[in-house]
Amino acid sequence: MVNNKNIEEKMVKELKMDCDLAIEYVMNNVKIGDRLELSYNRVFTPGEVLNIDNSIYNGKKGAKVLIHILEEILTSSVEVDLEEIKDDLIEVHHIPKNNGDEIILIIDKCDIK
């Protein structure tokens, strides 16, 4: 017989949205220490969030995420400006460090202005 007290059920929520809403989600919900996996263009960036910056740069709104890449052979950190790559953003996978539900954001479209 299995003791259900020690079993935690994690939910995986899959949401479809445009790139602007995905960036808004990241800036409002992702915290330092969370795991974030970004898929954009032909790039996959999995890692731990070290910093989130939404400062204004040269009069433009920024949405920068500093990620410590989780690789076995090579470890490094990369800063990704979500506003700069939003047209190429395909998917965002957010895994909170506090054992909350995993969220997968599937980018449906991005209106180019």
pTM: 0.82
Q: How many residues does the chain have?
A: 113
Residue 85 CA to residue 82 CA, distance in Å, equals 5
- Residue 113, pLDDT score: 55
Q: Mind listing the domains of the chain with CATH numbers?
A: 10-107 (2.30.30)
Contact 103, 43 (CB under 8 A): no
Per-residue pLDDT of the chain (113 residues; tens, 9 = 90+): 555 555 556 788 999 999 999 999 999 999 999 999 999 988 888 999 999 998 887 888 889 999 999 777 777 999 999 999 999 999 999 999 987 889 999 998 776 55
Tokens of 6: 């020690």
